[in-house]
Amino acid sequence: MTGRILDGKATAQAVREDVAARVARLVEAGVQPGLTVVLVGEDPASQVYVRNKDRAATAAGFRVDTLRLPADTPQADLLAHVERLNADDAVHGILVQLPLPGGLDADQVVRALDPRKDVDGLHPENVAALVTGSEGLVPCTPAGCIEVLDRHDIPLEGRHVVVVGRSMLVGKPLAQLALARNATVTICHSRTTDLADHCRRADVLVAAVGRAKLVQGDWVREGATVLDVGINRGDDGKLVGDVDLEAARERAAWITPVPGGIGPMTIAMLLANTATAAARQAGVSEGEEAAARR
């Protein structure tokens, strides 16, 4: 079997077009959705991510501000900026680009966000909403994983989902989302014994670790769906995922590539979250179709 590529770029484009239509409807209703991205310091990777988010959000019709702060910004000043943005009705989404420079307490900053504006879905209230199944905002990368499956009619109900990685950003929320879709979920991590065996039992295998080609081809069950969240630099400087793509493709039915898989979906879901946040804050109903997406 040669697995079909789950094209995250094309799927993300479709999501972005849907979001642009939602933004247009909000603008018609008198609401200009606004996103503020907070970038502290000069980390080159963060600068690229922020630039990409700014471009994508602007193209979808959002008003986007990027607040650039020096790496030596005191914690109290950063918190004061967050408070100001929380209180600004023109700002519906606040994204603090992580990681923050050393010396700053990211956890405290995330907790200071108005949960309704926390478009990264990391505030404890949003984490609790995900676990309890109530209304909140879902972290963008796991939301992107589910969206790419949905848009390819790949079901989760009754299937065995194995998530490798248990971070608050990807692994744990993805496991919750899969559980909410009635999957049977196994979460693996650095202390898991027999990782390969767990992976071989997956109908849907998600790798979110950050180790190039950790998941080998023969760890993939015949006909499985593989989502590769990892972003690593190979020896040749090119981006590679956590999965040995070519070998895994021999057995998988569907597989996301790196680059061009979950990465673009993550940005698309940030836009979707920001549209959702704006509609909720402005009290604009987006109808059943939008509600079903959450």
Catalytic annotation, residues: 53, 97, 120
* 171 interacts with ligand NAP by CB under 6 A: yes
Of these, 231, 245, 253, 272, which contacts ligand NAP (CB under 6 A)? 231
Say if residue 206 is exposed, middle or buried (CB neighbours under 10 Å; 0-12, 13-18, 19+): buried
One of 126, 141, 176, 274 touching ligand NAP (CB under 6 A)? 141
By the rule CB under 6 A, 169 interacts with ligand NAP:
yes
d(CA 98, CA 49): 10
CA distances from 58 to 55, 167, 271 (A): 5, 29, 10
Nearest approach, Cβ of residue 231 and ligand NAP (Å):
4
The CA distance from 182 to 205, in Å, is 16
The reply to whether 57 sits near ligand NAP by the rule CB under 6 A is: no
User: Which position among 229, 245, 253, 272 is part of the footprint of ligand NAP (CB under 6 A)?
Assistant: 229
Query: CA-to-CA distance for 241 and 256, rounded, in angstroms?
Result: 9
Tell me how many residues contact ligand NAP (CB under 6 A).
26
Under the binding rule (CB under 6 A), the answer on residue 189 touching ligand NAP is yes
**Least distance CB 191 / ligand NAP (angstroms):** 5
Q: Which of 57, 205, 206, 209 touches ligand NAP by CB under 6 A? A: 209
Whichever of 180 and 239 has its CB closer to ligand NAP, that residue is 239
Q: Are 208 and 177 in contact (CB under 8 A)?
A: no
- Report d(CA 272, CA 61) in Å as an integer: 12
**Considering the rule CB under 6 A, would residue 76 count as an interface residue with ligand NAP?**
no
Binding track over 246-275 against ligand NAP, x by CB under 6 A: ----------------xx--x---------
CA–CA dist 178, 250 (Å, integer): 25
230 contacts ligand NAP (rule: CB under 6 A): yes
What does the block give as tokens for 85?
């943005």
Q: Is 280 buried (19+), middle (13-18) or exposed (0-12) by CB count in 10 A?
A: middle
Binding residues (CB under 6 A) for ligand NAP: these are 141, 164-167, 169-171, 188-192, 195, 208-211, 214, 229-232, 262-263, 266
